[in-house]
Amino acid sequence: MNLIVAVDKNWAIGYKNDLLVSIPDDMKYFREHTTGKVCIMGKNTLESFPGGRPLKNRVNIVIALEKSYKVDGATVVYSIEEALEEAKKYNTEDVYVIGGGSIYKQMLQYCDTAYITYVDHEYAADTFIPNLDEMQDEWKMVEEGEENTYFDLEYFFRVYKRIK
């Protein structure tokens, strides 16, 4: 299983249920990795999308706490365990955890690959994920793309692999 996320210098990912920054190439990177695949997300992440609608051309698995929560075009589950069970229906390499913060933290232990857009900037944020660079016994950066810029921001596409 994979996770995909954009982080800042402090491994922050969001503020008030929104992304810290919207970088067109990062959105493209996300689409390239997840189109035609399975995306696992929390309810708040789904609701942060335009119209609160599931992502097109993907299998959307949404984790919600409210048993009455339903979404057209998505499979709604009510726990991490149910999400993992639903994900078993698919090739594990095609499953991406896409947020938010609590979902990343709970699902990290089940992921083998992390696609990280590292933005070399510090934002005001209220949502963070574990810093994989500080988890050297568990994770190793295996790839870092060239430096990219978006206006005055510098960012890198990185790939981390779980150490077996």
pTM for this prediction: 0.96
Domain of 149: which CATH number? Answer: 3.40.430.10
For 17-59, write each residue's pLDDT tens digit.
899 999 999 999 999 999 999 999 999 999 999 999 999 999 9
Structure tokens at 7: 């982080």
Overall average pLDDT of the 117-144 stretch: 97
- Res 16: pLDDT: 92
Q: For residues 108 and 59, what is the distance between their CA atoms, to the nearest angstrom?
A: 20
Kindly give, in sequence order, each residue whose CB lies less than 8 Å from that of residue 89, ignoring residues fewer than 6 positions away. none
Question: Above 90 in pLDDT, residue 164?
Answer: no
Q: For residues 78 and 92, what is the distance between their CA atoms, to the nearest angstrom?
A: 20
Task: Report the domain count for the chain.
Answer: 1
For 65-117, write each residue's pLDDT tens digit.
999 999 999 999 999 999 999 999 999 999 999 999 999 999 999 999 999 99
- Res 64: pLDDT: 97
Give strand ranges (E) for 70-134: 75-77, 95-99, 113-119, 127-128
Q: Where are the alpha helices (DSSP H) in 39-78?
A: 43-48
Residue 42 lies in domain = 2-162
